Amino acid sequence: MSEIRRVGIVGCGVMGSGIADVCARAGLEVRVAVSGEASAARGRRRLSKSLDYGLRKAVITEAERDGALERVSFTTDLGDLADRQIVFETAPENESVKLDVFGALDKIVEDPAAILASNTSSIPIIRMARATGRPGQVIGVHFFNPVPVLPLVELIGSLLTEDETRVRAEAFVAVTLGKQVIHSPDRAGFVVNALLIPYLLAAIRMVETGFATADVIDQGMVLGCSHPMGPLKLADLIGLDTVASIAVALYEEFKDPQYSPPPMLLRMVEGGLLGRKTGRGFHSYS
């Protein structure tokens, strides 16, 4: 099996641009498919900002930054991913959208051994696998935000994922990208979010009931439990819409009340108060 050198990415939001960053830094040729020219421009800005941050922190040199930028191209035509050896789907955490993407990739990507990977944080992989005619090549590869900084990646194979796909995906993530891999069964939320989301929802319920303010809760967990960030600032960083989507997926899977999204969270999402990306969530960001 040939070495993976050509990477495709669908979407260039926070996660898509982060994956493009680490793949380009690893010397790979990256092509990012986006919905339009405005999305491409935003994606380029995110990628440049991420690489500039690495330069300021002396993680990469100026030459490495420039080389990484040159290795990433953008397209508004999903068909331009036809020659990719691995494609990462980073569409919004919406099951119907992701199923459409996988159905399209199945028809577009020419190499029958190409890996079709989802960065979903909650949706069972087998559903996306069944949207294709090659379920054995579909796998979950869940990076964490910010992708260039956090070392962990969850690998999630479905009941239909072939062993060879698991082995190739792990080698790519661990050896080529230098990430630490943990394996999760194909259950909504996987390992990390199945633990994290109830914690975040508990903090939101404390604010909702007036038990404590967001500042007090965050200060308590940072100063009292040595967490690097409080749960409400973390929820704002993840995006409250994403937190709500993961909670809904977990609740639908397990029917456990601890996964049920609090009304306050749902109203904030409906009101566009999504956290850092909109400038306001449980905290304000200028």
| Per-residue confidence (pLDDT) for residue 110, from 0 to 100 | 97
50 annotated among ligand-binding-site residues = yes
57 annotated among ligand-binding-site residues = yes
Mean pLDDT value of segment 268-273 = 98
CATH number for the domain whose boundaries are 6-184 = 3.40.50.720
CATH number for the domain whose boundaries are 192-277 = 1.10.1040.10
In the chain, domain spans? 6-184, 192-277
- Catalytic: 162? no
| Per-residue confidence (pLDDT) for residue 100, from 0 to 100 | 97
Q: How far apart are CA 113 and CA 247, in angstroms?
A: 33
pLDDT over threshold 90, residue 1: no
- Catalytic: 245? no
Q: What is the pLDDT of residues 230-256, one digit of tens each?
A: 999 999 999 999 999 999 999 999 999
Q: What is the pLDDT of residues 153-167, one digit of tens each?
A: 999 999 999 999 999
Q: What is the pLDDT of residues 25-82, one digit of tens each?
A: 999 999 999 999 999 999 999 999 999 999 999 999 999 999 999 999 999 999 999 9
Mean pLDDT value of segment 177-190 = 96
Q: Of 191, 147, 153, which is closest to residue 171 (Cα–Cα)?
A: 153
Report yes or no: 87 and 117 within 8 Å, Cβ to Cβ: yes
Domain 6-184 identical in fold to domain 192-277: no
39 annotated among ligand-binding-site residues = no
- Catalytic: 62? no
- Catalytic: 35? no
Q: Which residues contact 84 (CB under 8 A, 6 or more apart)?
A: 6, 7, 8, 31, 109, 111, 114
Exactly one of 118, 122, 193, 245 is catalytic; name it.
193
**Does the model's pTM come out above 0.75?**
yes
What is the chain's Cα-based Rg? Answer: 19
Q: Which residues contact 49 (CB under 8 A, 6 or more apart)?
A: none
Q: How many CB atoms neighbour CB 192 within 10 A?
A: 15
